[in-house]
Structure 1
Amino acid sequence: GAISLFLNIGTTTEAVAQELLHHANLMVVTNNMNVANILVANRDCQIIVTGGTLRRSDGGLIGTLATETIRQFKFDLAVIGCSALDGDGDLLDFDIQEVGVSQAILRQSRRTFLVADQSKFKRSAPARIASLAAIDAFFTDRPLAPDLAARCAEWGTEIVISA
């Protein structure tokens, strides 16, 4: 059967969507209008867009409607981005509404991947989504600080570094 996949808001998940253009048997649920528009070109991909309030700055759909849609699914895999990642391994965001959506995604997914480049390590944001401990694999472009890498090993969070 088809693999069910969730892709959330952000340019990094949009890059993941580009990589999925030649994959078949996918059902992608997203709260990112840009992801949906990218995947339109893949005829072997079923696309479901959550409801929600459109944030024009990044094409994100947020709020209660988005969360309610997500709760109706159980995803094989969620690929999420975040606005910032601190030294404790906490995934952070600027928008509390988006945090609720991201937490719902994590709850409804069998496996979770975080995709975040090194620019996210230098930023901070006030709202906490979750810990890397809740993530199965973290895809990034630079090695982590040794203490955070050690924590990820303890948590069983796989770190994948790709240029």
Structure 2
Amino acid sequence: MTSARSHYNIPGDIMFVEERQSLILEELHEKGKVRVKELSERFQVSEDLIRKDLTALEEKGQLKKAYGGAVMVKENVHRKIAAQRKHVHTAEKQRIAEKAMSMIQDGDIIFLDISTVNIELAKLLNNGTKKITIVTNMLDVMNLLVKSDMSVIFIGGELDYGRDGFIGSLAMEMVKNFRFDKAFMGVVGVDVHENAVMTYMANDGMMKKAIIKRSRNSYMMCEEEKFTQLGNYTYAELEDFTGVITNQQPAKDVCKAFAEHDLQLYYA
């Protein structure tokens, strides 16, 4: 069967419109963005024709037109409590947690914030033998570690929107008294083109920002799909983190953005 890529040698005006648009989407998913000028040269058609293709694809909800080209459509993730998310993509979260576990050393003081991936990491820590101190503001994590031999410190304050853990001014005041070796942070969405790391709510974002400020090394913990999702509040930029831990290698444009911001990529 002939690969779709072989059509790149065929002038775009000879192709069916659907074929050309399919190839445009294929390149978009591979690179994260496409440019009108480059597509025009590749398919040997006018830039106006490419713009019409992009408009048609945007009307179908398959991309978003941007200056000079188009980018992928990002899902706007609505607020969900951890109880609704903890059983979603469990295998991916476990792989991320295993990678994070390998980065923790005896003697570390680590922070586990409100994140369903951190539930999986807490399970591994609970069954392990690492001699560390864990600080957390997430109720599920605390409940898992309540009988642990490790030193566990719980941050109190105001219950968050989903009643998953504590945030607010009192919690942030407590965090200011610590210095963490590593912080493992939850992420709702990451927009590498806008240099934005997002969560659901502003008060959760402010708490995350305070944790990052008190951490020598901060790591995003997120499934690969989070790079095509949006949250409601930007709490950090890429360069605020030491690295990102995900379940598989992201798209080329995402990897490029991480490298440009000196962000170390770890994936299972």
**TM-score strictly above 0.5:** yes
Deviations 1:41-89 (A, max 9, x none): 321x111111111237352211111111111100011011111112334
Instruction: Tell me which amino acid in the other structure corresponds to 1:35.
Output: V
Contact 1:132 1:152 in 2 (8 A): yes
Q: What TM-score does the superposition give when structure 2 sets the normalisation length?
A: 0.57
State the AA in 1 paired with 2:121. Answer: V
- Which structure 2 residues correspond to residues 1-163 of structure 1 after superposition, within 5 A? 2-21=107-126, 22-43=128-149, 45-55=150-160, 57=162, 59-88=164-193, 89-162=195-268
Compute the TM-score of the two structures, normalised by the length of structure 1: 0.90
Runs of 4+ in 1 over 4 A off after TM superposition: none
Q: What is the distance in 2 between the residues matched to 1:141 and 1:77?
A: 19
Residue ranges of structure 2 left out of the alignment (5+ in a row): 1-105
Identical aligned pairs, as a percentage? 26
Which blocks of at least 5 consecutive residues in structure 1 are unaligned? none
Determine the C-alpha separation between the residues in 2 that align with 1:73 and 1:50: 11
More helix by share: 2
Q: 135-144 vs 50-59, which deviates more?
A: 50-59
For the pair shown, which has the larger CA radius of gyration, 1 or 2? 2
Secondary structure in 2 matching 1:77: strand
Considering Cα pairs closer than 8 Å and 6+ residues apart, tell me whether 1 or 2 has the greater RCO.
Answer: 1
In proportion to residue count, which structure has more strand?
A: 1
| Cα distance, 1:154 vs structure 2 | 2.2
